[in-house]
Structures are given as structure tokens and as C-alpha cells.
Structure 1
Amino acid sequence: MIARLQRWLVLGSLVIAMLWVSAWWMRSPPTAIAGLCVLFLGHAGFLAFEFIASYRVGADDPIQRATVMQYVGAWLAECCVAPRVFCWQQPFRWASIPDRLLPDERRGAVLIHGFVCNRGFWNPWLRELRARGRAFVAVNLEPPFGSIDNYVRIVDEAIARVSAATGRPPLLICHSMGGLAARAWLRDADGARVHRIVTIATPHRGTWLARFGRTVNGREMRMDGEWLRKVDCEQTSARQVPFTCWYSNSDNIVFPPSVATLPGADNRPVVGQGHVEIAFDRTVRRETLALLD
């Protein structure tokens, strides 16, 4: 569903761009160019709002926020990374790398994406796992705007498939809301079925930005929200399964920074990166995949 929605958004934007240029180019080339800039660079303005909010909200957080220049650098990088993910990988390349479930005695991985994403988000990770000959399943969380509780069955089936191929508990690799889906799975599951859960920019204690969320899963990620309080009260923390939590001090979606950490977990900081960019950081990927061994 997300692939189809984002595909229509991309194609619709291209049609609007062509109509705009054809209507204005002969009358006023500067107007035509200005319209194209608004259409194709408008996301930079939304990202700027997010980074400004992150900077202001993070002022009183126990984890020191990034410097202004680090925020600017993170914003510029996110402006480049986000279109590649949301306008290419997810709408058009989400099925380009199929799950790999050949029999293998080595440990495999389950990859769980975040909000308004699909398995195409993980394409660089999937290419590396395929090159290493590892078994893996990258899920699609459906329905995309339903409750996080709806994803438990999807996560459980992926874990079972990788375990059947390898005979070993898999490593769970989760970005953003995907980490909460893994914790929701832990409520009624045997934690011994997974080797470790790695979360990347997951709002374990919610995020300030979720106050603007109107979808069911968006509301569930509100700070001090009922759904998160319920998860924290149940045995879904690092006490049951080893967790590694990557977090950024300049995350534009999950902030203030400390909400992406868990008590008792192996909390690992990344400096000056945005919410999407952190998932493609080479150090994050290298050290996360090293946990397979």
C-alpha cells in the first residue's frame, strides 16, 4: 500500500511539474522555475521545521543536543537522503531484493521498517546481507496507519521463517516505529526466539513530534501516551532480551534524544545525523551486522 501511495505521489508530482512548466514557461520563465523549486524542494522546508523543533525541544534533555552547525549539516544530508528513500527505493524498488531463506547454519536477520515506510527502506542492508550469504526477511508492516499491535503477527511469522532456515534465533534490526513493533511482539512471545534486538532511532518513550499525529500508530507514539505506558509496564524492555539502541543527538523525528534509549540497553550515540540518514550510516550498519556473529 505504501509503495502504491508513494508511487502515485511521485508520478503526480511529475505531471503537475509538466503542466506548470507548459502553462508558465512562455509567459514567465522565472515563475515557471520558482514553481518547480517549490514543488521539488518543498520537503526541505518541512525538514527545516522538524530540525528547528528538535533543537528547541532538546535543550533540556539529559543527552546533550548537537551544535547548530551539526543540525545544519544533518538537515542538508536529510534533504538528499529522504527523496532517495521515499521517491525511489520504497515506491519503485521495494521488491527488487527478495527475502533470502536458503538453508544456512549461520544466524539470519529480520528487518522491520518504521512509519510510512516499507521493506524497500532496507535495500542497502539487504544487498550487503545477500552478498554475505545470510538468510533474511524484510517485512512490510500492514496496515500502514493501523495500530502497532497489528504488526505482531507479521513480526512473528518473519522470525519463524528465518529461524526455520538457519536453526538459530535471528537478529532483529528495526528502524523507528519498527522497534516498537518488536517490543509489542515481545509481550506474548518467548524472548529466547531472538538473539538480540537492534533499534535505530526508535521512539521507545515516544516523541514530541507525535503530538501532531492523527493516525492510530502515530498517536501511539506520543510521549507519555497510554500505549507506550502499557508497553513499559510489561516485560518488553532490555531486561528480557538484549537490546542495542542507536540514537542521534540531532534526530528530526524522534526527539528529545533520550527517548530513543532504553534502561539497561547497549545505547550507542551517533552525532549529527537525521532520522533517515542514521539508518544508512556505515558505522551503524557495520557494527549492527557484526552482531550476527
Structure 2
Amino acid sequence: MIARWQRWFVAGWCLTALAWTGFAAPRSLSWLMGGWAVLLGGHGVVLAAEFLASNVVNRRGQGPHATLAQLVRAWWAECLLSPRIWAWRQPFRANRIPDHVPPPDGRRGVVLVHGFSCNRGFWLPWLSRLAAQGRCVVAVDLEPPLGSLDGFIDTLDAAVRRVHAATGQAPMLVAHSMGGLVARAWWCRTGGRVPIHRIVTLGTPHAGTWTARVGRAASSHEMRIGSAWLRALDVAQRACPPARFTCWYSNCDNMVFPMHTATLSGADNRPAHGLAHVELAFDTVVMAETLALLDED
């Protein structure tokens, strides 16, 4: 469903660009260039507003606070990366790399869990790398995209059981943003009946995020700071068997802030300061250190 919506958005953008070019070109170059500046630069303006809000909110709490150079670099990285994901990988390439489920070889597998407004196409670099290593890897599609977080648990449960059955090993879950909350909710509901090696979260709003207040989806309401859903999750997690968590967070995360909302008490909380929200999932150091956890006892 997300792929279809995003294909329509890309088609609408292209039609708008063609229509504006046809309208403005005969009139003046300034009209033409002004329209194209809006079409190409609008995304960057929205991102800049997110980074500004993130910086303002983060500075009300404990540091380390992002420098101007870090914010500008992170903004530019997100400007370049986001269109590749939302206008190419997810709408048109989501199924280019299938799940890789080889014969058992004694190694652990991985389940990849995307975040809000995403699909499995988000994980193409991870799928490619893990498949090349011969690892068992399954990437889920969480549907319907605007539904409650609880509605995604069965999908994740099926993927975890599939990897566990294929490898005979407890899999590792790697989850970006909202996907980390789905992973936690799944763990609380199953009560440890399916073993896992570790849950790694990348920019997950474990304690909610300021940006969720502008969303209207059911999951947006649940990701608001102090929401009833998050309070219930915290209570449920204290009552279920312990699991090992590694939580990556950043002082330049433009979607999950304040930054310490992306950490969990008792977890292996790892800072990746200077990285933006989407960039956090594809940073070479974050990816390498996360995959190294597969072979830890």
C-alpha cells in the first residue's frame, strides 16, 4: 500500500513539474526557475524546519548538543538520502531483493523492521549485504500503514518464527524508528516464547517523540510523549522476560527528539551523534557494529 501511495506521489510531482514548465517557460525564465526551486527545494525546507525544532527541543535537556556544523551536514545528508528512499526504493524497488532464507548453516538470521510510512524497500542495502554474506534475512511490510502499532505484531511474529525455524538459531531484530516499538510490543505479547538474540533499534522513540503530535494516524497518537500506549508498553515490558536491547540515538535526529527518548533504561544505549534520522540506518559504522552483534554470545 505504501509503495502505491508513493508511486502516485512521484507521478503527481512529475506531472506538476511538466505542467509548470509548459506554463512558465513561454512567459519568463524567472517564473520557470522559481517554480522549479519550489519543486526541488520544498523538501529541504521541510527538513530544515524539522532540524530547527529538534535543536530547540534538545537544547532544553541534557547534552551533548549538536553544533551548527553537525546540523547543516545532517540536513544535507538527509536532503540527499530521503528522496532516494521515498521516491525510488520504496515505491519502485521494494521487492527487488527478496528475503534470503538459505539452508541452515549454524549462523543467526536477521529480521528487519521498518518505520512509519516505509516498507521493506527501506532496507535494500541491508538485504543486499546480508544476502551476500549468506545470512538468513527477512524484511517485513507493516500493513496497514496508518494502523495501530498493535496491529503489526502478528506480521512481525510470523517473520521471527520463519527465521528461527529456518536457522534453528535465535534471530536478531533490527528495527528503525517506529519499528522498534513494534519489536518491543511483539516481545511483550509473546512473552519470550520465541527466543531472540537481541533487539537493535535505530532512532526509535521509546519514550515518544515531539514530532508525533502533528500526525493523525493511530500510530502517531501512540508515539506521542506520555501516550497511554507507551505507558502500557513500559508496564508490560517490566512484567515480561528480559531481552537484550541495543539502542542507537543521535543529537541530530530530526524526527525523534528529545534525543534521549530513543534510549531505554538498562539497554546498551549507543550514541551516533551528528547523524540524521534516516541516515542513522545507513551509516557504515552503525551498520558494521550492529551486524557484529550477530556473532556475540
Calculate the TM-score normalised by the size of structure 1: 0.97
Q: Is the 8 A contact 2:249 2:259 kept in 1?
A: yes
Q: Corresponding residue for 1:91?
A: 91
Structure 1: distance between partners of 2:199 and 2:187? 10
* 1:161-172 equivalence runs, <5 A: 161-172=162-173
- Is residue 2:59 matched to residue 1:52? no
- Is residue 2:278 matched to residue 1:276? yes
Q: Corresponding residue for 2:227?
A: 225
- 2:190 match: secondary structure: coil
Q: Corresponding residue for 2:174?
A: 173
Structure 1: distance between partners of 2:229 and 2:63? 24
Amino acid in the other structure paired with 2:25: W
Q: Corresponding residue for 1:290?
A: 292
Q: How many residues align?
A: 293
Q: Is the 8 A contact 2:75 2:276 kept in 1?
A: yes
Structure 2: distance between partners of 1:239 and 1:193? 11
The C-alpha deviation readout for 1:172-225, integer Å capped at 9, x for no partner, is: 000000000001101221335211000000000000111111110011000001
- Is residue 2:255 matched to residue 1:264? no
Structure 2: distance between partners of 1:255 and 1:200? 13
Cα RMSD, aligned residues only:
1.3
Q: 1:239 to 1:76 in 2, by over 3 A?
A: farther
| Identity of matched residues, % | 53
Amino acid in the other structure paired with 1:72: V
Q: Is the 8 A contact 1:184 1:236 kept in 2?
A: no
Q: Is the 8 A contact 2:188 2:240 kept in 1?
A: no
Q: 1:103 to 1:237 in 2, by over 3 A?
A: farther
- Is residue 2:235 matched to residue 1:243? no
Q: Corresponding residue for 1:11?
A: 11
Q: Is the 8 A contact 2:244 2:267 kept in 1?
A: yes
Calculate the TM-score normalised by the size of structure 2: 0.96
Structure 2: distance between partners of 1:18 and 1:91? 20
Gaps of 5+ in 1: none
Structure 2: distance between partners of 1:236 and 1:111? 24
- Is residue 2:201 matched to residue 1:202? no
Q: Corresponding residue for 2:26?
A: 26
Q: Corresponding residue for 1:74?
A: 74
Amino acid in the other structure paired with 1:175: H
Amino acid in the other structure paired with 1:205: A
Q: 1:241 to 1:266 in 2, by over 3 A?
A: same
Q: 1:179 to 1:236 in 2, by over 3 A?
A: farther
